[in-house]
Chain A
Amino acid sequence: GAVVSQHPSWVICKSGTSVKIECRSLDFQATTMFWYRQFPKQSLMLMATSNEGSKATYEQGVEKDKFLINHASLTLSTLTVTSAHPEDSSFYICSALAGTYNEQFFGPGTRLTVL
């Protein structure tokens, strides 16, 4: 299957700082990537769809100025959490479309803790 990596795997930051999370497709090109967040024991919540070379499409209720998404190449999408607050602490997971049926392949996730 297609491999997606994320970096960092976990990060702790102070309130008010910004954090950048990278999502890379390692063995394929991904024109479309997705960003999710997941709270403990809850399902995936789609935040935005990232398209290479164009603006991301955000889901209702997701602040685009707070969660900046950049998809500058076919193998890299980044999510920047700006002015992070404790309520932004969560598990952030990216995925990319690949395969015969455009299945989503997920990265390993990034655990963000904002103090």
Chain B
Amino acid sequence: QKEVEQDPGPLSVPEGAIVSLNCTYSNSAFQYFMWYRQYSRKGPELLMYTYSSGNKEDGRFTAQVDKSSKYISLFIRDSQPSDSATYLCAGTGGFKTIFGAGTRLFVKA
């Protein structure tokens, strides 16, 4: 079992839709969780990081962590074609960060 599981997609949505991206993890030692966005042939860009269970909002993005079920989510409101990218979730328990496989998102104009 991988420490971080993420559906690779692809996920295709129309412009303006609410996007829900999800990951599960198995390592109880994970304390912090991150979401990265990676455009094609570019390095990943940190979008959001969270520590505790609950929601964290930043503009159109909301990160949600449920430590009891080991479930993390990223919601994108009013999705735009420019949001088309691969989204990677990650968990870290100190030093080592474990990444999910990434979900490819396509937002159609």
**Interface residue ranges, A against B (CB under 8 Å):** 1, 4, 6, 32, 41-44, 91, 93, 95, 99, 101-109, 111
Looking at chain B, what size class is its interface with the partner chain?
20 to 34
- Chain B residues contacting A109 (CB-CB under 8 Å) are 41-43
Interface string of B17-57 (1 = CB under 8 A from A): 00000000000000010101000011111100101000000
Contact A108 B43 (CB under 8 A): yes
| Closest B residue, CB atoms, query A107 | B43
Given known pairs A106-B43, A107-B43, the reply for A44 and B88 (CB within 8 Å) is: yes
Given known pairs A101-B32, A101-B51, A104-B97, the reply for A43 and B102 (CB within 8 Å) is: yes
Contact B46 A103 (CB under 8 A): yes
- The smallest beta-carbon distance between A8 and chain B, in angstroms, is 14
User: In the docked arrangement, what's the CA distance between A6 and B44, Å?
Assistant: 13
Selected from B42, B49, B99, the residue in CB contact (under 8 A) with A44 is B99
- Chain B residues contacting A42 (CB-CB under 8 Å) are 101
User: In the docked arrangement, what's the CA distance between A93 and B100, Å?
Assistant: 16
- Chain A residues contacting B46 (CB-CB under 8 Å) are 1, 103-106
19 of the cross-chain contacts (CB-CB < 8 Å) are: A4-B43, A32-B95, A42-B101, A43-B102, A44-B88, A44-B99, A91-B41, A93-B44, A95-B44, A101-B49, A101-B51, A102-B92, A104-B34, A104-B46, A104-B90, A106-B44, A106-B46, A108-B42, A109-B42
